[in-house]
Structure formats: structure tokens, C-alpha cells
A and B are shown apart, each in its own frame.
Chain A
């Protein structure tokens, strides 16, 4: 049972344009969400997060939007840069106060120069 789903395995955008990565979840009890970024041969690193009390969180070129009624979140990267090419995972805490994260399948973003 995949509680966090990223239905697009890959996305290709042109440098300077917007990248939109999507994530859906099934558990309405999730109250915090995180995005991780992973380069080849490296471990995932934390990128940005959002609490369920907000519908938007922005950090520089990265913005995460949360639509609780649709159980959907998205990561926007504007403008996209070639260095943003990586695998992006969305995640949610699996149970209270364990720090455990449930991850989606990941979306591979390619930003073309």
C-alpha cells in the first residue's frame, strides 16, 4: 500500500522554465511533508518542507504547495537550472514522533540547457 505516490517517473524541462513535481498521499492523518533531492551516487538531502497548517512554503527558487482536500502537494522550481537535475522524493512522517519517513517513488528531473 503506497501511502505516498509520485506518479510521474520523469520530467524534462528547459532551463529557465518552471518545473512542477507532483505528489499524492492517501493518509489524511499526515500533517507534515518534506521534499528530498538526490544526485547520482549520493544520498538524498533535505530540500524543503511544509506543515499542514500552511498551504504554501517558499525558499528561494523552491515553493511547495499543499492541497489538503485533494491530498496533493507539488514542488515548483522557478527558474529551473541544469544543476537542479536530480531525483526528487516527497515524504511524510509515518507515525508520531518516530522520525520515520514514508517516501514516494521519486521523480527524475532533467533540466536541459
Chain B
């Protein structure tokens, strides 16, 4: 049963600390997306990759967020330093990169920054 795996599921940290979220996309998918769920914006796109190359990270605050895909089985989203306003649920999703293709989401990483 192929699925997107995200770690950690829950993270509580202090303001100023570094946070790294990890994602294992579904094998064979060539696109990987990072979304953040907020009450006001819904599912907000932060960054995405095709064939491990970053295509667009314009949704991320560049000064503190970074997204990488060191290999085909791992995508990371890092926040340094974290701030209370970063508290949200972060989702990773993968797909085949077609407009008519659905995305498959992980269960999310709930981040709380105190």
C-alpha cells in the first residue's frame, strides 16, 4: 500500500530553534510538494520539486525556510529560526506531475512553536 510518509507527526519547540520535517514520497512519483494548512489560507503551497529539482519556492519565507530533496526518497523542509507564527500543520504530497493527476498527501507534521 504505497503512501507518503512524513516525520515527525508532532513537534513542539521553542522559538528560535531549528525544525526539520521529512517526507518520503511514493516511489515512482516525480513531483513533491510542501503545503501548509492555515485557517485563513487553507492549504498554502510552500515549495515543490520535479525530478528532485526545485521548481518554485516562492511561497516560502526565504529568510527562514528552506526545502531540499537530497535524493528521490527524501524531501526536507527546514525552518531556522522558528517563530510562533510558523505553528501549523505541514503536509508533503507527491504525484506524477500532470494537471489531471491527483496528489497523494502524507498525514502531516503538526508544528507548535512556543
Report the separation of the CA atoms of residues A13 and B42 in the bound assembly, to the nearest whole angstrom: 22
Chain B residue numbers with a CB within 8 Å of A94 are 45
How distant is the Cα of A43 from the Cα of B55 in the complex, in angstroms?
23
Interface assignment of B77: CB less than 8 Å from any CB of chain A: no
Chain B residues with CB under 8 A of A28: none
What is the number of residues of chain B that contact chain A, defined by CB distance less than 8 Å? 31
- From 76 to 99 in chain A, residues with beta carbon under 8 angstroms from any chain B beta carbon are 89, 91, 93-94, 96-99
Q: How far is the CA of A70 from the CA of B9 in the complex (A)?
A: 40
Is the pair A32, B99 in contact by a Cβ cutoff of 8 Å?
yes
Residue of B nearest to A2 (CB): B41
Chain B proximity mask over A41-59: 1 for CB below 8 Å, otherwise 0: 1111110010100000000
A46 to B103, CA, bound (A): 7
User: How many A residues have CB within 8 A of the partner chain?
Assistant: 28
Query: Which residues of the other chain, A, contact B101 by a CB distance below 8 angstroms?
Result: 99
The distance from the CB of A43 to the nearest CB of chain B, in whole angstroms, is 3
| B42-A104 in contact (CB<8A) | yes
Kindly report which residue of chain B lies nearest to residue A102, judged by CB atoms: B45
Task: Say whether A89 contacts B4, CB under 8 Å.
Answer: no
Most chain A CB neighbours (cut-off 10 Å) among B42, B91, B101, B108: B42
Closest 4 CB pairs of A and B: A43-B105, A105-B42, A103-B43, A46-B102
Which B positions have Cβ atoms within 8 angstroms of A?
4, 31, 33, 35, 39-45, 48, 50, 55-56, 91, 93, 95-108
Chain A positions within 8 Å of B, measured between CB atoms, are 2, 6, 31-32, 34, 41-46, 49, 51, 89, 91, 93-94, 96-106
Beyond contacts A93-B100, A100-B56: 5 other A-B pairs, Cβ-Cβ < 8 A, are A43-B108, A89-B43, A98-B55, A99-B101, A100-B31
